[in-house]
């Protein structure tokens, strides 16, 4: 399928990212369920105004700080993330010196390898979690979904799991890991269980985390520790209030 | 794909309807874009509490009345509607004596016929808008999307277009038709341009429209006229305020 929407189209970016998901579906990078998840995100991003809000920017800075402070940071990659932001994942991995690990809800023959190929084409070095490398298991979730790489998520102290499923987030938290996520829904289980939730579109959030990491790297470690301090419940409530106020404003507009 | 989620699962209904969409994709009834649209609806339905609210029920009654009052009512059917609620579409068509017409955003070889087959299996009589029957064109929208059946939408005075695209809704309104829709997003162009917008999940809304039509049929025509009176802007603003208040409540809960 060719993408021939003019850049002047008011929904250009939205349609472009949707096209990347469809392309990912055809390349076995994205599962069918990924299209539903992307649609859910579209609704929420629309209510967010399709721009990064303050609560998202602050969470991105906290996440960047925690990745820098980590001894074994890992960035978990699923199909939608690989389809939407492969270069941005590689840039963040380099900025915080963290490996990328493929971690899928729906494992299927060839999918991990397809995602690895997308990441390598975007400049990634070794990619964890592919095939036999995902030989360890994390407890409390069903088989297939619990396989992780013993060099990566298994021993990580800090894990960034953008667009993650609630069961897996809970399992990682239960293992004592510091869990960072990017999720447009402040009410999702992942958003609520993670330690730092960036309520934003992954397409905008990842470059901001990278930019914040590069800024923080120029500062002393004490500044990282300060930036890493975080009250996630308070920030999620701010995000919810933002959505609520925006809908109230739109209701007023609708009434003229 | 087999659906083996237990009915006790808290997301049973949501997962069941998602499965119907995936099955529709595999049967050529649903387009890939239909999965994104369904995901957008999932987010919104979650905020609605996954139940029909008062503003939805009132709009369903107004829509039922207008279908009964119509001289040539038509029910437009797209891929997602056919995948999700084929029996419910047939039941409404019978209750208000309206034909079902296949009307697709993405026409592709075999898709109209696949949708016709789903509707016939659900008990439909003749289905309009399939193949050569869609020989008329409505103005102002691009080719392929503007084809309609000269026995159906072309001459209809009242059209129910659930889950419709904004361009087509505008074109139908511009032709002077009374346009009724079902749309979970009170901010969509379709929601705003239609004359009666049922802000609800199609899965719940269609049976309510049918039930209201059967109730109204037992009453004199004057009662239909009264029930058909409607201020759509006011009702959309109520829906928006509902979403806003619900998110505000959830924000308070999140803050403990």
The chain A residue lying nearest B256, using CA atoms, is A233
d(CA A209, CA A61): 6
Nearest CB to B233 within list A234, A245, A255 = A255
Pairing verdict, β B136-137 and B147-148: antiparallel
Whether B241 and chain A come into contact, CB under 8 Å, resolves to yes
Q: Tokens 């009345």 map to which residue?
A: B65
Cβ separation of A254 and B247 shorter than 8 Å?
A: no
d(CA A175, CA A179): 10
Cβ separation of B256 and A233 shorter than 8 Å?
A: yes
Cβ separation of A42 and B40 shorter than 8 Å?
A: yes
pLDDT of residue A1: 45
pLDDT interval class at A194 (50, 70, 90): very high
Interface of A with B in 90-119 (CB under 8 A): none
Phi/psi class of residue B101: alpha, beta or left (left: φ > 0; alpha: ψ in -120 to 50)?
beta
Instruction: Read off the DSSP letter of residue A51.
Output: S
Q: Which of the two residues, B10 and B90, has the higher pLDDT score?
A: B90
- Predicted confidence (pLDDT) at residue B1 exceeds the cutoff of 50: no
pLDDT interval class at B229 (50, 70, 90): very high
The helix (H) or strand (E) run that includes residue B46 is helix B32-48
Domains and CATH numbers, chain B: 54-238 (3.40.50.12640)
Cβ separation of B25 and A38 shorter than 8 Å?
A: no
Contact B230, B190 (CB under 8 A): no
- Predicted confidence (pLDDT) at residue B4 exceeds the cutoff of 60: yes
Cβ contacts (< 8 Å) between B254 and chain A: which residues? 186-187, 192, 233, 236-237, 240
CA angle, corner A83, sides to A79 and A86, nearest 5?
A: 105
Cβ separation of B244 and A245 shorter than 8 Å?
A: yes
Nearest CB to B35 within list A39, A243, A248 = A39
Tell me the backbone φ, ψ of residue A236, rounded to 5 degrees: -65, -40
- Predicted confidence (pLDDT) at residue B256 exceeds the cutoff of 70: no
Choose the mutation target among B9, B50, B254 for the interface with A, i.e. most A CBs under 10 Å.
Answer: B254
Cβ separation of B18 and A36 shorter than 8 Å?
A: yes
Quote the minimal CA–CA distance from B40 to chain A in Å.
4
Whether A32 and chain B come into contact, CB under 8 Å, resolves to yes
pLDDT of residue A87: 98
- Predicted confidence (pLDDT) at residue A129 exceeds the cutoff of 80: yes
How many alpha carbons fall within 13 Å on the CB side of residue B131? Answer: 7
Phi/psi class of residue B149: alpha, beta or left (left: φ > 0; alpha: ψ in -120 to 50)?
beta
Give how far Cα B120 sits from Cα of B17, B70, B79, B198, B209, Å.
Answer: 20, 24, 14, 26, 21
Contact B88, B209 (CB under 8 A): no
How many alpha carbons fall within 13 Å on the CB side of residue A36? Answer: 17
Whether A44 and chain B come into contact, CB under 8 Å, resolves to yes
- Comparing CA positions, the residue from B64, B55, B54, B60 lying closest to residue B225 is B64
How many alpha carbons fall within 13 Å on the CB side of residue A101? Answer: 29
Whether B136 and chain A come into contact, CB under 8 Å, resolves to no
pLDDT of residue A142: 67
Residues in Cβ contact with A220 at an 8 Å cutoff, skipping those fewer than 6 apart: none
Strand partners, A180: A160, A196
pLDDT of residue B89: 98
- Predicted confidence (pLDDT) at residue B27 exceeds the cutoff of 80: yes
pLDDT of residue A144: 63
Quote the minimal CA–CA distance from A39 to chain B in Å.
4
d(CA B123, CA B28): 20
Cβ contacts (< 8 Å) between B18 and chain A: which residues? 33, 36
Q: Tokens 């930019």 map to which residue?
A: A211
| R_g of chain B, CA atoms, integer Å | 18
Q: What is the mean pLDDT of residues A108-123?
A: 94
pLDDT of residue A140: 65
Residues in Cβ contact with A165 at an 8 Å cutoff, skipping those fewer than 6 apart: A105, A145, A190
The chain A residue lying nearest B192, using CA atoms, is A254
Nearest CB to B37 within list A39, A185, A247 = A39
**B78-134, pLDDT tens digit by residue?**
999 999 999 999 999 999 999 999 998 777 888 999 999 999 999 999 999 998 888
Cβ contacts (< 8 Å) between A30 and chain B: which residues? none
**A197-256, pLDDT tens digit by residue?**
999 999 999 999 999 999 999 999 999 999 999 999 999 999 999 999 998 888 888 776
d(CA B208, CA B211): 5
* Residue A107 CA from chain centroid, whole number: 18
Tokens of B106: 């993405």
Instruction: State the pTM of this model.
Output: 0.92
Tokens of A98: 């963290």
Cβ contacts (< 8 Å) between B38 and chain A: which residues? 36, 39
Dihedral angle sign, alpha carbons of residues B95, B96, B97, B99: negative
Whether A245 and chain B come into contact, CB under 8 Å, resolves to yes
d(CA A140, CA A159): 18
């Amino acid at each position: 399928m060719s993408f021939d929407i003019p850049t002047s189209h008011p929904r250009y970016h939205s349609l472009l990212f949707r096209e990347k998901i469809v392309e990912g579906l055809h390349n076995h990078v994205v599962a069918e369920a990924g299209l539903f998840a992307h649609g859910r995100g579209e609704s929420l991003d629309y209510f967010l105004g399709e721009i990064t809000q303050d609560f998202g920017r602050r969470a991105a800075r906290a996440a960047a700080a925690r990745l820098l402070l980590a001894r074994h940071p890992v960035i978990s990659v699923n199909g939608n993330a690989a389809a939407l932001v492969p270069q941005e994942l590689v840039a963040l991995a380099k900025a915080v010196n963290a490996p990328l690990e493929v971690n899928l809800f729906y494992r299927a023959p060839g999918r991990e390898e397809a995602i690895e190929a997308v990441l390598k084409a975007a400049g990634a070095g070794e990619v964890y979690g592919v095939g036999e490398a995902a030989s360890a298991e994390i407890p409390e979730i069903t088989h297939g979904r619990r396989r992780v790489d013993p060099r990566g998520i298994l021993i990580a102290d800090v894990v960034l799991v953008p667009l993650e499923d609630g069961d897996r987030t809970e399992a990682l938290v239960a293992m004592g890991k510091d869990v960072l996520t990017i999720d447009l829904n402040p009410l999702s289980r992942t958003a609520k269980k993670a330690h730092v939730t960036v309520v934003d579109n992954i397409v905008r959030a990842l470059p901001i985390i990278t930019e914040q990491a590069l800024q923080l790297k120029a500062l002393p470690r004490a500044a990282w520790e300060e930036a890493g301090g975080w009250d996630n419940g308070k920030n999620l409530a701010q995000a919810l209030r933002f959505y609520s106020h925006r809908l109230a404003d739109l209701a007023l507009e609708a009434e003229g």
